[in-house]
Structures are given as structure tokens and as C-alpha cells.
Amino acid sequence: MITIIDYGSGNLKSICNGFQEIGAKVLITHDKKELTKADALILPGVGAFGTAMKNLTKYEEIILKHIQDDKPLLGICLGLQVLFSASEENPGIKGLDVLPGEVVRFPESQKNDGLKVPHMGWNNLNIRKKSSLVEGIGNDYMYFVHSYFVQPDDDKIVVATVNYGLDVPAIVAQENVFATQFHPEKSGNVGLKLLENFLKLV
């Protein structure tokens, strides 16, 4: 069962629809007992880092235990960012710290180059390394909406980047933890292919 964590900060229905379209059984829940039984967890996220972490506090132990039990987890958009240690968006608020590193805002100089912040729209991936998550996926276009991006301490976890004035991590993976800065559920057939690849890991 694919279980989407309903912690009040996510585009739950579209993610659910994406998984259902590829034939997955999906549950959206905030029930801790259901979350502990999950074969795979989806950590969505829309909005501010600090609000998300406040809402995630009661699920943090479940998420970390899920990862320790070597079960797959997929973070999407803000769900990627909260996996990291901290964010410039809300200084002093600790992230889940599953992946060491910081979340930073796009520099103001982007505007001088004619690049709007937030980064919103379709941009192509640059696949940097092999991963089961990107099997059958090339430098395809995915749909992004974000003003902040991650800077991992370990560059080796970066599977793909996107260029938006600078190279930004678009997909990260470490053992059973996977995350995308873009929205695969809004990225057409290629995005569904990525969800299908994740499903194969379950």
C-alpha cells in the first residue's frame, strides 16, 4: 500500500490520482497506526518550510522509523526540502535531517538574468547518475514550482539537476529515500513513469 501522509501541507489529491492512474493502491491518512503499517510513504508538501515542520512534528518518529526499517519513502517538492537539516526560509527551525544539507532561496541576481522567482513551469532534467527512480527517463521536462532549493552536504546523492540560472538538485536519492523538487504527478507521462519506478521498489 502506498500511503500519503496527510499533515496539512500537500497537494494530496493530485498525487493520489497519479498513483491510481498507474494502478497503485493508495491511502491518504493522518492516522498514525495506518502510517506505521505503510509499505511506502509519500511525503508531499506545498507552502512554507516552518509550517510544514510544525505539522510534521507528530509524525517525525514514524517517518524516521519507516526509513530505518528500509522501506521506501518519496518526498515531493516541499516534501524534499523538509528531509534536509534546515532552511533559509525559516531560520532556527530544524528539518527532519534525514539528508544533511540546507535549503536556500534563489539569489536575487536571477531577476537580473530575466529569471522569475518562484521558478515555475516546465524545465528539462539533467540526469547525473543511475538510479532505479529514473529508469527509462532521460533529460525530460518536468513541472516545477519553488522559490527555494536544496544544497546537500553530499553531492553524491544528487541523481538529476535542472538548470535555472544555476544547477539545482531536481532528484535526490539515498538508499531507500527518494525525493523530487518537481511535481511528478503534474509532469505528464514521464512523471507517471517516475511514480511507476517508485512503485516497483515497494
CA gap 172, 15 in Å, rounded: 19
Residue of 66, 119, 146, 183 with catalytic role: 183
The yes-or-no answer on residue 183 being catalytic is yes
The three cell numbers of residue 93 are 527551525
The three cell numbers of residue 124 are 528539462
Residue of 16, 66, 77, 119 with catalytic role: 77
DSSP 89: T
CA 195 to mean position of chain CA atoms: 12
CA gap 175, 173 in Å, rounded: 6
Those residues whose C-beta lies under 8 Å from the C-beta of residue 132, and which sit 6 or more positions away, are 197, 200, 201
Placement of cell 500511503 in the chain = 3
DSSP 59: G
The three cell numbers of residue 99 are 539528508
The yes-or-no answer on residue 88 being catalytic is no
The yes-or-no answer on residue 30 being catalytic is no
Placement of cell 493502491 in the chain = 25
Residue of 66, 146, 185, 196 with catalytic role: 185
> What value, to the nearest 5°, has the Cα angle with vertex 76 and ends 70 and 81?
90
State the catalytic residues: 77, 183, 185
